[in-house]
Amino acid sequence: MSRQIVIGAGLLIALVVFPLLSPWSTVILTVALCEGLAALGILVLLRAGQVSFGHGLYFAFSAYVVAFMATARFGHEVLLLVPIATAASGLLAALIGLFIVRYRAIFFGMLNLAISMVFFSLLEKLFSITGGADGKRVPRPTLAGMTLERESFEFWMFYITLALCVVAALFVARYLLSPGGKALEAIKSNETRLEYLGVSSRKVLFGAYLLSGLLAGLGGAIIALVSGHVTPELAYWVRSGEFVFIAILGGAGGVAGPFLGALMFQIIRGYAAVYAPETWHAVLGVMLLIIIFFAPTGLYGLIAGKKRAAKPPAAVERAGAGQ
Amino acid sequence: MILLAALDGLAYGSLIFLVAVGLSLIFGVLGVLNIAHGSFYAIGAYVAASAVLAAAGMGLPTWLAFPLFLISAILVGVVVGGTVEALLLRRVYRKEEVLQLLVTFAVFMILEDAQKVIFGTQPLFANAPMNWLGTIEVFGIFYTNYQLVLIPLVALAVLVGLRTFLRRTSFGRAIVAVTQDREAAMAMGIDATRVYLITFIIGASLAALGGALSSSTTSLTPGIGSGMIVLSFAVAATAGLGRIEGAAVAALMIGLGRSAAVYFAPEFDVLIPYLIMVVVLLIKPEGLFTTLQTRKV
Amino acid sequence: MAFIVLSYLWPFNAHAPLLPRQRAAKSVLHEDFRESIMVRMKIAAAAFAAGTLLALPAGAQEKPKELVVGVATFLSGPASVFGVPGKNAADLFFDEINAKGGILGVPVKPVYVDEGAGTNQLISEYRRVVQDQGAQVMLGAISSGSCNALAPVAEDLKVVNVMWDCGTQTIFEEGKWKYSVRTGGHAGSEMMATLLYLMKVKPDFKTVAVVNQDYAWGRESWALLSAGLKALKPDVKIVAELFPKFGAPDFSTEITRLSALRPDVVISTSWGGDLDTFVQQAAARGLLKQSTFVLPLAESSLERLGAVLPEGVIVGSRGDHYFLHPKYKNSAEMQAFVKAYKAKTGVYPIYPTFHMNQAVTGLVKAYEKAGAAAGGKWPSKEQVIAAFEGLEFKSLTGTITIRSDHQGLEDQMLGTTKRVPEYPFAVYDKMALYPGKLVTTPLGEKSLDWFAKVKPELGSDKSIETFDYTK
């Protein structure tokens, strides 16, 4: 637990300070945080051994809710748009969760994929409503009643997002330690035994699914606001795959993992966009293979693992000094 | 009208079947859902088109294209598929499912760019084989023999061939045995590693064959693989993963469903495969064809 | 610690001299981490303040060492059939400019951004190139969706944004953008010329079918065409409106329907792989002989389609672009360009390369005009964008005029395919060249309204020139 706090706090300090030095990176950092939120949702499900290749659905759904509301000038305010869109995604996750928690493993993954692809096709096909493949523009809303210029809007959005990420990460960390969260691990290791204990594994998984939908929705709502444009591509299966990618890249061991992963993802992508603009997919693919084969616990595991290796001698030393 | 729609759906359904049956076979034996499967399709298409164009450039007769399709499909299966299995997948069979998925996802991303680097971004096609086979008139409408006869025949041959191979040959039986009980099969002296490798090569070759056949009717552009992969997921999931005959029926259903949609509800043609997949998975998550006496591969 | 790691890895501050990496590493060893952070924050704050102060005066400035020009184009995905030729052409043009000493003596450095990465990623890349790499001019983009998304970003960033290829007419008809300008025509002028040409060469058609890609361009171009058809030929019957999925691998069902309906005219504004696939499958099944095909973007597919495309198909190129342009094919500039492009890529140039030529030439001319107005000093971005208004310049295939609403007037040329022994692919014959002023929606009007009231007499205007194929 303490390691988790150290890593999280280090990451947080870095994120608080960094935009002050490099003001043009706020948007990219915000995007990374949004993807981190969605990957955090994936992490919750991974605890139960379930992989969703369709969380782009919730990401895109709340992004479109924001786009429609902002265009209609209905609730044209960040402090309204974000909670409403997130709640809408949560509602959708609850509806789909009602039946999807009956499925496990590959069927769980495929069903998520299929539903998100239905949504993706609808977004592309209903041209007159959704703007088709070109998507919709999101006019910049007010923030706490203030109409802001781009720079200050981006600045505040970043710190608001960062604060929301901290809250979300702490909440998920607590949840994973709660009985509900512990039961998730039991679903992964031995579901039958869990049922024998009188715990409904469906109810447990439903809670996790709802939470993951909310997290992805929160990320989607913010990304719609900061990039000012939404497209069906947000719901495409490759995007959902990226969330799983980020979760594994960062490591599923702790709640700071997905955010580490998302930052790393943006960094690799940034380098690839500069030095290999035509092959950035391949660069990411190679990176993913390296992580899987050489650091299966992800970045988080790498950092935490090193500390673990470093700690015992220190502890021994201290014990020795005490004598 | 319905009959015409059915004729159109046939070629399309047959192509999807070829790709999906490979995916299904790999899942049935290795237990891995291969996201890179669409890339094998795309690479098969590019290699076949390049081979056919090269042959035409050397002044070789057009009929040579058909053996070339087969050769390039097997080549892609062995070289690309074999490498992926032996070098990467083999190392993660004992690891978590999500890692297996992500390995194939990484391969997908790498192969997508590899195609671009090797074959360029300009649309590529080699339509000589399609034109060489000529057309046939049905109810006053011209169809190409290539789409109406050749592609469905190849699909049928693959279906029958695969069934025979799995049931009548000793290696086919070994594959079935490994699928059913890996430990027992190994105890009986079956080399599971070899079975995995060869199954993966067969599956990849089938996807590449689908691609090779499509190279004559379709312009190849970057990104053709990523659309195909979801479609073949839909077929394989609808049928029940690992079910060969089921995949044939499901592919036909999706092919016909799409053509029917163009006639009756053009707004929904792209939705059809995914809708079928959602509905089937909800009602019978193991797929449509589990209670039928079809053997699991 | 995490901060140091992040600042080491962060790729987005290549020009920030604030983080001497060597020192950052040392500071960890010397454990004056906190102190160094504080120092750097102060430096950063000072630099940031200084930066904002410097940016304030909008007038003429000192000449920069180089002019960074960002180019948004498709490097991946199906639209890279346009994006990659656009990039290849841009490389040639920028090399040529730099060989002559650059723009106003300042060398140009192009930076490419991939539109194929998706709109959200494109927007953040666009910002990075402007804010981090210091681009003063952006050329963006190909897709109408990208242009729609980038126009407000360019306003925000206060960067000159030259829309070099996208066609949606709504950009300047429904919005006012100070920093964006388009150096080409729009869907309105392209579709109007197409309609007038169809009326001219095949006046007696009664039934029409359309097969367009299912996305904004396919839908919007058809909305314009059908509105114009109703006005020009009220008795025409539209028998089928088909919108297959973008990137569809198979058009069998669509072709069967068209074979059964036997329309006089089949229109398709599709392009790239989709157009190639559709034409191939339709040709194999005899459909191209049965109906007159109108393919307003087929110029970009002519060479690839080779022997597939028969004679008698109406083709266009989103403007007057054509490497065998009847007026300019023998000009020194055109011959040099075709030669250089063919040497670089192995194929003949297609319309996106000409669009790129218009954007780059327009940019040079605008800088020269603004520089002259600023008394030979380096002009500010605001002066450059102001210089675009009313600018008139020669491109490889004609003359472009920029209107006060920042919309370009570009001539439109269509032709009918003909097979000749000189080329292994179809060429233009019976060409008609429509002046941009004639076929572009008048200033202040919306294209859809203008199409709905267009009169057939427009097609017999005296300013229209016609040409036949000559060797």
User: What ranges do the domains of chain A cover?
Assistant: 2-315
Same-domain check for residues C313 and C381:
no
Instruction: Give the pLDDT of residue B295.
Output: 39
Instruction: Give the pLDDT of residue B191.
Output: 82
Interface A-C, measured as beta-carbon pairs within 8 A, has a size of 141
Higher per-residue pLDDT: B99 or C335: C335
Single-letter residue type at A317 = E
The enclosing H or E element of C465 equals strand C465-467
Q: Which two tokens stand for residue A288?
A: 């993913």
Q: Which residue, A242, A254, A208, is CA-closest to A34?
A: A242
Same-domain check for residues C421 and C443:
yes
Contact present, C212 and C221 (Cβ < 8 Å): yes
Q: Which two tokens stand for residue A203?
A: 């109810």
Mean of the per-residue pLDDT values of chain B: 82
Same-domain check for residues C448 and C313:
yes
What b-and-e string marks burial along B191-223, b requiring 16 or more CB atoms within 10 Å of the CB? ebeebbbbbbbbbbbbbbbbbbbbbbbbbbbbb
Assess if residue C297 is contained within a domain: yes
Residue C174 to chain B, least CA–CA distance (Å): 28
Task: Work out the percent of chain C whose per-residue pLDDT is above 90.
Answer: 56
Q: Would the pLDDT of C448 be above 60?
A: yes
pLDDT band at A24 (very low <50, low <70, confident <90, very high): low
Contact present, A215 and B66 (Cβ < 8 Å): no
Mean of the per-residue pLDDT values of chain A: 81
Interface test with A, best of C7, C8, C9, C10 (most A CBs within 10 A): C10
Summarize the confidence of residues A182-197 as an average pLDDT. 77
Instruction: Give the pLDDT of residue B1.
Output: 64
Instruction: Give the pLDDT of residue A46.
Output: 87
- Contact with chain B for residue C424, Cβ under 8 A: no
pLDDT band at A320 (very low <50, low <70, confident <90, very high): very low
Q: How long a stretch of residues is chain A?
A: 323
Domain A2-315 has CATH 1.10.3470: yes
Instruction: Give the pLDDT of residue C21.
Output: 36
The verdict on a CB contact (< 8 Å) between A124 and C157 is no
Q: Which residues of A touch C215 (CB under 8 A)?
A: 124, 127, 132-134
Instruction: Give the pLDDT of residue C284.
Output: 85
Q: Give the separation between CA B134 and CA B232, rounded to whole angstroms.
A: 29
Residue C283 to chain B, least CA–CA distance (Å): 9
Which of C14, C19, C120 comes nearest A227 by C-beta? C120
Mean of the per-residue pLDDT values of chain C: 84
DSSP string, B151-163: HHHHHHHHHHHHH
The verdict on a CB contact (< 8 Å) between B112 and A281 is yes
Q: Would the pLDDT of A170 be above 70?
A: yes
Instruction: Give the pLDDT of residue A314.
Output: 37
Instruction: Find, in chain A, the residue whose alpha carbon is nearest to that of B96.
Output: A49
Q: Which residue, C66, C64, C61, C72, is CA-closest to C162?
A: C72
Residue B9 to chain C, least CA–CA distance (Å): 8
Same-domain check for residues C460 and C378:
no
Which of A99, A102, A292 comes nearest B92 by C-beta? A292
Instruction: Give the pLDDT of residue B2.
Output: 67
The string of pLDDT tens digits covering residues A132-153 is 777 888 888 888 878 887 778 8
Contact present, C271 and C212 (Cβ < 8 Å): no
Summarize the confidence of residues B177-200 as an average pLDDT. 82
Q: Would the pLDDT of B257 be above 90?
A: no
Residue B28 to chain A, least CA–CA distance (Å): 12
The string of pLDDT tens digits covering residues C258-308 is 888 899 999 999 988 889 889 988 888 888 988 999 999 999 999 988 888
Phi, psi of C380 (to 5 degrees): -75, 170
Q: Give the separation between CA B65 and CA C125, rounded to whole angstroms.
A: 44
Q: Would the pLDDT of C166 be above 50?
A: yes
Q: Give the separation between CA C182 and CA C188, rounded to whole angstroms.
A: 14
Instruction: Find, in chain A, the residue whose alpha carbon is nearest to that of C152.
Output: A228
pLDDT band at A2 (very low <50, low <70, confident <90, very high): low
Q: Which two tokens stand for residue B41?
A: 């399709």
Same-domain check for residues C271 and C132:
no
Residue with tokens 């396919």: C218
Q: Would the pLDDT of C438 be above 80?
A: yes
The verdict on a CB contact (< 8 Å) between B125 and C84 is no
Assess if residue C417 is contained within a domain: yes
Instruction: Give the pLDDT of residue C257.
Output: 85
Q: Would the pLDDT of C384 be above 90?
A: yes
Q: Which residues of C touch A127 (CB under 8 A)?
A: 214-216, 219
Domains of chain B by residue range = 2-283
**How far does Cα C188 stand from its chain's mean position?**
15
Q: Which residues of B touch A102 (CB under 8 A)?
A: 285
Q: Would the pLDDT of B220 be above 60?
A: yes
Instruction: Give the pLDDT of residue A1.
Output: 53
Assess if residue C424 is contained within a domain: yes
Which of A105, A111, A238 comes nearest B281 by C-beta? A111
H-assigned helices in C139-268: 144-157, 170-174, 187-201, 216-232, 252-261
ipTM over 0.85: no
Q: Which two tokens stand for residue B43?
A: 């690479």
The string of pLDDT tens digits covering residues A205-220 is 888 999 999 999 999 9
**How far does Cα A186 stand from its chain's mean position?**
23
Q: Give the separation between CA C370 and CA C384, rounded to whole angstroms.
A: 5
Phi, psi of A146 (to 5 degrees): -100, 140
Summarize the confidence of residues A43-68 as an average pLDDT. 90
Q: Which two tokens stand for residue C315?
A: 């083709």
- Contact with chain C for residue B24, Cβ under 8 A: no
**How far does Cα A133 stand from its chain's mean position?**
24
H-assigned helices in chain B: 2-30, 37-57, 65-76, 82-83, 97-119, 128-132, 145, 151-168, 170-180, 182-187, 192-214, 224-239, 244-264, 271-283
The string of pLDDT tens digits covering residues C43-55 is 444 444 444 444 4
Q: Which residue, A248, A237, A190, A244, is CA-closest to A51?
A: A244
Q: Is the peptide bond before A247 cis (omega within 30 degrees of 0)?
A: no
- Contact with chain C for residue B130, Cβ under 8 A: yes
Q: Give the separation between CA B214 and CA B220, rounded to whole angstroms.
A: 9
Q: Give the separation between CA C218 and CA A124, rounded to whole angstroms.
A: 12
| A-contacting chains (≥3 CB pairs under 8 Å) | B, C
- Contact with chain B for residue C81, Cβ under 8 A: yes
- pTM, 2 dp: 0.80
Residue ranges making up the domain that contains C153:
67-185+330-409
Contact present, A111 and A98 (Cβ < 8 Å): no
Instruction: Give the pLDDT of residue C225.
Output: 93
Choose the most confident range, by mean pLDDT, from A73-77, A123-127, B112-116, C331-335: C331-335
Summarize the confidence of residues C342-357 as an average pLDDT. 94
Supply the DSSP symbol for B146. I
Task: Work out the percent of chain A whose per-residue pLDDT is above 90.
Answer: 18
- Contact with chain A for residue B117, Cβ under 8 A: yes
Q: What is the three-class DSSP state of C166?
A: coil
Q: How long a stretch of residues is chain B?
A: 297
Q: Give the separation between CA A93 and CA A217, rounded to whole angstroms.
A: 9
Q: Would the pLDDT of A311 be above 60?
A: no
Task: Work out the percent of chain B whose per-residue pLDDT is above 70.
Answer: 94
Q: Which long-range contacts (CB under 8 A, 24 or more apart) does B262-269 make?
A: B262/B5, B262/B8, B262/C242, B262/C244, B262/C253, B262/C254, B262/C257, B263/B1, B263/B2, B263/B5, B263/C253, B263/C257, B266/C242, B266/C243, B267/A125, B268/A125, B269/C244, B269/C245
Which of A278, A281, A292 comes nearest B102 by C-beta? A292
- C160-163 and C137-139 as β-strands: parallel, antiparallel, unpaired? parallel
Q: What is the three-class DSSP state of C270?
A: coil
Interface test with C, best of B218, B226, B267 (most C CBs within 10 A): B218
Residue with tokens 């609730």: A75
Interface test with B, best of A44, A52, A95, A106 (most B CBs within 10 A): A106
Q: Which residues of C touch A280 (CB under 8 A)?
A: 114, 117
Q: What is the three-class DSSP state of A237?
A: helix
Higher per-residue pLDDT: B93 or B5: B93
Kindly report the CA angle at B61 between B57 and B66, in degrees rounded to 5?
100
CATH assignment of the domain containing C250? 3.40.50.2300
